[in-house]
Amino acid sequence: MIDLLDIPTIQSIEITDDTLSVDLSDSHTISVPLAWYPRLLHGSTEERQNWRLI
């Protein structure tokens, strides 16, 4: 069984022209190509910064 207390939480998110990066509370960073998310890839910088964590 997974202990929910051991699951890292998102500390920050950064979106650049080609990368989506997520910093986690366990000091890891996950980075993926923005090409994996076409709506973000084709969005403006302003649109990319208008996000919410759900």
Domain spans of the chain?
Answer: 4-49
Residue-wise DSSP of 16-51: -SSEEEEEETTS-EEEEEGGGSHHHHTS-HHHHH--
pLDDT given at position 51: 85
pLDDT exceeds 90 at position 24: yes
> In whole angstroms, what separates CA 21 from the centre of its chain?
5
- Grade residue 2 by pLDDT with cuts at 50, 70 and 90: low
User: Which residue reads 């910088």 in tokens?
Assistant: 45
What pLDDT, on a 0 to 100 scale, did the predictor assign at position 4? 64
- CB distance 24 to 30 below 8 Å: yes
Residues above pLDDT 70, as percent of the chain: 93
Q: Express as a percent the part of the chain with pLDDT over 90.
A: 70
Q: Is residue 5 very low, low, confident or very high in pLDDT (cuts 50, 70, 90)?
A: confident
